[in-house]
Amino acid sequence: MLLASTAADRSLAAFPAGSNGEFNLPPELATVIRSGQGCRLKTADGREFLDFSMGWGSVLIGHADPRIARAVASQLPFGSNFAYVNESSLALAEELIRLSPACEAVRFCASGTEATMYCLRLARAFTGRRRVLRFEGAYHGAHDVGVTSLFPHQPPAFPTADPSSAGITAHHEGGVLVAPFNDLETTAEIIERYASELAAVIVEPLQRCLPPAAGFLAGLREVCDANDVLLAFDEVVTGFRLAYGGAQEKYGVVPDLVAYGKALGGGMPIGAFGGRADIMELVREDRLGAEDDYVWTASTLGGNPLSCSAALACLEILRGDGVYEQLYALGDYLRQQMRHMLKSHGVTAQVLGDGPLAQIALVASEPHDYRTSQHKTPKLARKIMLELFRRGVFLNPMGTKLYLSLAHTSAACDEFCGLLSDTLADVLVDD
């Protein structure tokens, strides 16, 4: 066997496609990160990247922020996991209950995937119904329902689900119903038709980078109430990012169940789920064996004091004066500059997003759901993303979101837009 030489070669040998599942890169772009600081990354081979992925949005404060590092370091000598309620997890639970109108009680886990999975399990147990409804193109984590109809290439007619991954069974026998985001009429018709078997509707309140149409979330709330169906908000992305109180605060709609993750942990592994006290009661272990609707939840690392200390420090930073004004101003600036660059190169595109999030869609008119947001020229989109990566922007070349953080500045956005402009000049000549 040949001895692998560079870190990238070793990564290609150790990981399928040289990746831990984050995104797919051609082998010549494989890289291995050594460190992060603010909005920049350094790789093992000495390259520097401007980071617009930010740990898939988990590092909203910025890499290696000393306040988060101090919080973690000061907990470390006192233990890293007890798999039981500790002072940090208790303080964090109390803060989540304070900031979220939906959460009367919470539990911690270690990822957003677990958090949405538990919301759905709780909803099925509470209602005694087996089906759940989700929106086409939304992502709710790597579990079966989370990826069903995530990126159907030939989308079936609503409400039929597309597995979007091999090895998935959630869609069998209509276990997952699928509706178009922002289409309240079609969604309401599906909810009404299946109400007697429908446990919950789960929604990303801002789906990927698509904002909810005026009245869509409030309308969902009403239709769910009218049909006795639970409403779950997946706030894994929107939580603490669109507002301190997340989508619940921003859009003024209160779900029955809510899932958190990503930004909450300040870059440390975390997930949390919570909701109405009568629903959350089902997880009480003193009901195990005694009640048919007892819901199993367990997470070895959920609520560990390192993640919870980081989260408490992160929330304290986010409560600071002007934080959300800064995140929104930066996001507005980035999206406006991106629009300007795309237009000046004659690219037919829309720049989506809100708050510190942005995404390019190569479409002529403003999209409102999965189907209308699909690139008209996917090969060109992929080329643009890979070329940006090659030029030193760390981003997900599958073309999903660009994540900003408190460590980004308008100068970093200008640098990104300069690279975007160079990229467009190159790829459009080649095209």
- List residues binding ligand PLP (CB under 6 A): 56, 111-113, 116, 139-141, 204, 234, 236-237, 261
Indicate the DSSP class of residue 179.
E
| Min CB(143)–ligand PLP separation in Å | 9
| Min CB(346)–ligand PLP separation in Å | 32
Residue 209 vs 236, nearer CB to ligand PLP: 236
| Min CB(192)–ligand PLP separation in Å | 26
Residue 139 vs 416, nearer CB to ligand PLP: 139
40: β partners: 37, 50
To the query of whether residue 234 is one of the catalytic residues in this protein, the response is: yes
Q: Which amino acid is at 26?
A: P
Angle at Cα 88 formed by Cα 282 and Cα 63, nearest 5°?
110
Distance CA 237, CA 204 (A): 8
Question: Which phi-psi region, left, alpha or beta, contains residue 314 (left: φ > 0; alpha: ψ -120 to 50)?
Answer: alpha
To the query of whether residue 183 is one of the catalytic residues in this protein, the response is: no
Residue 19 vs 348, nearer CB to ligand PLP: 19
Which of 412, 319, 407 has the alpha carbon at shortest distance from 65? 407
141-155 burial code (b ≥16 CB/10 A, e <16):
bbbbbbbbbbebeeb
**Tokens linked to 50:** 């401007």
Give the position of tokens 């997900």: 396
To the query of whether residue 225 is one of the catalytic residues in this protein, the response is: no
| Min CB(344)–ligand PLP separation in Å | 31
| Min CB(202)–ligand PLP separation in Å | 9
| Cβ-closest position to ligand PLP | 112
Tally of CA atoms within 13 A in the half-sphere of 27 that contains its CB: 10
Residue 8 vs 352, nearer CB to ligand PLP: 352
CA dihedral of 125, 130, 131, 132, whole degrees rounded to 10: 20
Residue 139 vs 389, nearer CB to ligand PLP: 139
Residue 132 vs 417, nearer CB to ligand PLP: 132
Distance CA 197, CA 128 (A): 8
Of 250, 262, 383, 401, the catalytic one is 262
Of 51, 118, 139, 183, the catalytic one is 139
Q: Cβ neighbours of residue 15 under 8 Å, at least 6 residues apart? A: none
| Min CB(274)–ligand PLP separation in Å | 15
Of 51, 162, 183, 234, the catalytic one is 234
Reduced to 3 DSSP states, what percent helix, strand and coil does the chain have, rounded to the nearest 5?
A: 45, 15, 40
Distance CA 380, CA 388 (A): 12
Distance CA 316, CA 311 (A): 8
47: β partners: none
Residue 36 vs 137, nearer CB to ligand PLP: 137
| Min CB(140)–ligand PLP separation in Å | 5
Active-site residue numbers? 139, 234, 262
